[in-house]
Amino acid sequence: MPPLDHILIVNAVLFAIGAMGVLTRRNAVLILLSVELMLNAVSLNMVAFAVYGHVDFGNITGIIFAFFIIVIAAAEVALALGIVVRTFRNRATANVDEVNLLKW
Amino acid sequence: MVLSEFAGVSMPDWIDALLRVMFIVALMTIMAFALIYLERKILARFQARVGPTRTGPIGTLQSIADALKLVTKEDVRPITADRWAFELAPYMAFVPVFLVFVPMPFTETWFIRDLNLGLLFVFGVLGLNIVGVVMAAWGSDNKYALLGGVRAAAQAISYEIPMLLIIVAVVMVAAGRIAVDGDASAAGSINAIVGDQTTTPYILLQPLGFFIFIVGMLAELHRPPFDMPIAESEVVGGYFVEYSGMRWGMFFLAEYTALFLLVVLASSLFLGGWNWPFGADVGLGLQIVLTFVKTSVMIVLVIGSRALFPRLRIDQLMAFSWKVLLPFAIIQVLANGIILAYGGADWVVGLVSFGLLVALGGLVYYVMRRKQGEGTRTVQTTPATPRVITSPEVTPVEAGGD
Amino acid sequence: MEDGVTATQVVFWILAVVMLVSAIGVVTAGNIVYAALFFIASLAGVAGIYLILTVEFIALVQLLIYGSAVVILILFALMLTRARERPQALFGRSRPLGIAASLGLLAALIGGIVATTWTTPESSSAIQPVGLQAIGDAIFTIWIVPFIIVGVLLSIALDGAIMLASPDEDDN
């Protein structure tokens, strides 16, 4: 087993890469991908804590959290992509910086 | 354990694992060749032809000749195709299908590894081959390929859901029968499920499950009546229209391997695999014969479906999955839960599932009849009167022709 | 035992490198579909690390939900928004700022991790793999209310996504 702090550092790097994607990309779908990367980093962290026994509720809670994160991510992707497709249909762009009107 | 059972030698784990993998690879290759030959022969019989006869005795070497032709063919890549997506797609489509063989039990002891999460593994990994299909579709830079790939992906996602729910229903039934001291975690293992079917194959307990599984299987394999992704008359060849030579061959191999794989899975889950009706004590020889008899019967049915059914439209396919199969799969899961929670007997489970299957058939029949009625009404309301007059004369002839 | 531990660590680092390199690919690729394909590789790396952490269940759920469903949805969205026909700048104007901010975030996170003393069990035998039965028990007893709420959320999300993506009936 790798030491816990190695896993945490890897996850931190993954999280930061995801954050960089969110902050630099302008296509909504790519931003969504980067958000998914961040979610993955978080659920990996949860599982690592759970497996190494750093959670007060016994070592299963983190695994359940990861499970819920994955499930909710699926719902989130479906909704977000629905919004992206709808925006594209109305505005002919999927770039978040071009969707700058509240009403038209 | 593959060798040690015959020779009585013990060996390290990794050699054992390697031998098992090699066994599966050999089996898969032979099966793919055999299936291609069988498909041509069986389809030919359905269409009153004889199929390949010239290569080898009664044409048995035809698949090998085909393979040689594919290997020596030029590997063409369209100049506008996306290089990486185009070249990697066949591997992405093929590797997951091969990986799924890991938990498949051919006899009581012949599998690569018996996983407790075997069923979840099968569907988790098998789903990845859609990625390969979509990569091929997008990478080819061809409208037909793109349409075919999008159709394939939509179809695969739609039919995976009822299939997974029905697997849940099967595992629910199995869990009650397999559980030792309340620990039912073995019920996700395919081999454990087969091991439980000594006297009762699960098709008797879950006839609706078997039906939905077969329908979902045909859809996953792009077999008629669900072959829109590769329909020649609509999208030329579908997602692999731009492929040639061995890359095309890999898509072909993936498709036939998936056919063999899903048929083995269906026979394990519903027909008792190596177990029913002789039990576990008959020895390896008879068990493997049993597996192959069951899979062969189902393969003939699947191949025959290509000659027997017309193609659906894409909206009909979607409607059938989301409006018919999915609700019935959910009802099946709920019914199993209620019956098993109150300690219902096995025959109650089987009867309820059979009732649901009859209800599904009745519903489909009713809807089809009503749609048919609507069709004739619209014809009658059109001002083109000659049509209405000639139709009574034409219909009996058509009916007779059928 | 010591030898086995090192092998696991080597596999872990290989997976970590694959995961991080493809994650960088996701956020820097010049082609949208390449980004999605890199995303798949990254997810595979995450699933592999779940396997190393002995939670096969989460690894398979990850493959099932992310690997097929989410990735296919994303590729669909890319095709529906006609990604290939409009070559364009994929990065916003605030790119340098974004890079700086994420590097700052990374520094803060790593600083926090290094400053804290974490206790790792000495050998992998001290870590009990969590059984499937235990996960099932936890979900259906302690976490049953969140589980039901997630179910409701999923069906609402399904309806909402259909509502959003289906064309309006009154504006043709």
Residue C27 sits in which domain range? 1-89+120-130
- Cross-chain Cβ contact B124/C75 below 8 Å: no
**pLDDT of res. B273:** 79
If one counts the domains in chain C, the total is 2
Q: What is the pLDDT of residues C40-83, one digit of tens each?
A: 889 889 999 988 888 888 888 888 888 777 888 787 777 776 65
Q: Is residue A52 part of a domain?
A: yes
User: What is the average pLDDT across B310-336?
Assistant: 87
B117 near C CB under 8 A: yes
ipTM of this complex prediction, to 2 decimal places? 0.85
Tokens of C76: 């669909």
Assess whether pLDDT exceeds 70 at residue C128.
no
Q: What is the pLDDT of residues B50-97, one digit of tens each?
A: 888 888 788 888 888 888 888 888 888 888 888 888 888 888 888 888
Residue A41 sits in which domain range? 4-97
Q: What is the pLDDT of residues B339-396, one digit of tens each?
A: 988 887 888 888 888 999 999 999 988 888 887 766 555 544 545 444 444 444 444 4
Residues C46 and C58 in one domain: yes
Q: Is residue A77 part of a domain?
A: yes
pLDDT band at B401 (very low <50, low <70, confident <90, very high): very low
Q: Is residue A39 part of a domain?
A: yes
What number of CA atoms fall less than 13 Å from residue A34's CA on the CB side? 26
Residues C82 and C1 in one domain: yes
| A5, A7, A26 ranked by CB distance to C91: nearest | A26
If one counts the domains in chain A, the total is 1
Domain ranges of chain B: 1-72, 80-380
Closest residue of chain A to C50, computed from CA coordinates: A44
Give contacts of A74 with chain C, Cβ < 8 Å. Answer: 65-66, 69-70, 154
Give contacts of C131 with chain B, Cβ < 8 Å. Answer: 185
- Cross-chain Cβ contact C133/B120 below 8 Å: no
Residues C14 and C35 in one domain: yes
**pLDDT of res. B306:** 83
Residues C140 and C77 in one domain: no
Q: Is residue A102 part of a domain?
A: no
Residues C126 and C158 in one domain: no
**pLDDT of res. B11:** 67
Q: Is residue A103 part of a domain?
A: no
pLDDT band at C125 (very low <50, low <70, confident <90, very high): low
**How far is it, in rounded angstroms, from Cα C171 to Cα A7?**
52
Q: Please list the residues that pair with B180 across neighbouring strands.
A: B183
Assess whether pLDDT exceeds 90 at residue A92.
no
Higher pLDDT, B127 or B355: B355
Residues C126 and C137 in one domain: no
- Whichever domain contains A10, its CATH number is 1.10.287.3510
**pLDDT of res. B350:** 87
pLDDT band at C172 (very low <50, low <70, confident <90, very high): very low
* CA C50 remoteness from chain centre: 11
Assess whether pLDDT exceeds 80 at residue A95.
no
